[in-house]
Amino acid sequence: MGEIILIIFGVYLLFQIVVGYRRGFLKSLLMLVAWILTFAIAFYGADEVKPFVIKYFPQIQGNILSDHITYVIAFIITTIIVRLIFSVILHFLNKVNDLPGIGFVNKAAGGLLGFTKGVLVIAFLLFFVSMMPLVGMTDTYNQIMSSDEKVAYMIQNNPFEEILNYSKLNNI
């Protein structure tokens, strides 16, 4: 099982490198920033959209569950609208990738950014695996840990866990 996990991680990293290389650094970076801004704007903007959702769906108001459902609907609507706006902006900024002087350096840096993004996603996934015993999934955790030494090493030396331990020790 451990070898399969490592192969999946390797294929995912290779995929991210290829996608980053094809897009180039500028477009990859702008897309990453656009996604982060989309969720930040949607998180804070959903409260502004919520009254409109209540106005058009009056039957979903009155209790705590419906309040959460209304917020989720407002969040989804805000995310879609902001994402569409960023897609239009990115389409126009995509012309920068075609400039003559940028070429290979832009693509190579895009591959490096893709690799970095892939490593962060894998580290985040492994961080959740390390949390399995806390939510009662000890058997699954033990099975993953015993499957391969490399996978166990990656889980035990996860950068997200290191950051949390450092911040806990230094009261940050």
Q: What is the pLDDT of residues 63-118, one digit of tens each?
A: 666 777 888 888 899 999 999 998 888 887 777 666 777 778 888 999 999 999 99
- For residue 153, CA distances in Å to 35, 79, 139 come to 31, 37, 18
**Whole-prediction pTM:** 0.67
Helices assigned H by DSSP within 94-132: 103-130
Helix 2-23 crosses helix 25-56 at what angle (to 10 degrees)? Answer: 100
Q: Domain boundaries in the chain?
A: 2-169
pLDDT, tens digit, 9 for 90 and up, residues 110-147: 999 999 999 888 888 888 777 777 767 777 777 777 77
- Collapsed DSSP state (helix, strand, coil) of residue 100: coil
